[in-house]
Amino acid sequence: MSKSDDDTFAASRARREASREDEERQKREALQAKQDEFCRQKANASKIDVYIRKVQSYIFENHFDTPKRHGYDINQGIISEREISNSPKQFAKGIGFYMTRGGLVMTGDLNHPFAGDHILKVFGDKDSFKGVAYYECGRSQQRTAIDTLPIDTTNLAEQLDPIFSEFLEISMLREEQREGV
């Protein structure tokens, strides 16, 4: 074998090795990107969890008495995040506020614990990092968007007071329609 034949084999071996190293590097980079995305989503889910729990506390403390004074039963239920499976903690991705006249019925469903005529749902999206609030009619399951929210706990009153007022307005309009008013 001549020196050029040895060079051909050596060059081929070097190209194969470089190709293998490139494939391994690409696999490592893809795995790292996947891990980075998981960490980003987990961090966002954690922030959304904190936000949803503060929404829960704020609405409970500041808005539950009014419907009760007017003969409505109202309760709440956390809606859990199921996609982040490697986390030891179950994150809240949303909350439902269930309201009805004459008693709420427990459903046995952990994510939708009550059957109510009027439901206010607030969700956080870990991808867009925005919140969304909407009214849901418990009888027809029709949804009406109320507002999009920043995931920010600095001024909950400014965010949530108008949303809860809109929820009550839509609920009372539905009640009036049902009664033929």
User: How far is residue 2 from each of residues 9, 10, 14, 94, 165, measured CA to CA in Å?
Assistant: 11, 13, 18, 73, 88
How confident is the model at residue 162, as a pLDDT?
95
How confident is the model at residue 24, as a pLDDT?
93
How confident is the model at residue 130, as a pLDDT?
87
How confident is the model at residue 129, as a pLDDT?
82
User: DSSP letters of 16-62?
Assistant: HHHHHHHHHHHHHHHHHHHHHHHHHHHHHHHHHHHHHHHHHHHHHHH
Per-residue pLDDT of the chain (181 residues; tens, 9 = 90+): 567 888 888 888 989 998 899 999 999 999 999 988 888 878 888 888 899 999 999 999 999 999 999 999 999 988 887 655 555 566 788 999 999 988 888 888 777 788 889 999 999 887 788 889 999 998 888 899 999 988 887 889 999 999 999 999 999 999 998 887 6
CA gap 140, 55 in Å, rounded: 26
How confident is the model at residue 103, as a pLDDT?
82
CA gap 95, 84 in Å, rounded: 18
How confident is the model at residue 85, as a pLDDT?
53
66's CB contacts (< 8 A; 6+ apart) are: 168
How confident is the model at residue 125, as a pLDDT?
82
How confident is the model at residue 109, as a pLDDT?
79
Ordered by start, the domain boundaries in the chain are 38-179
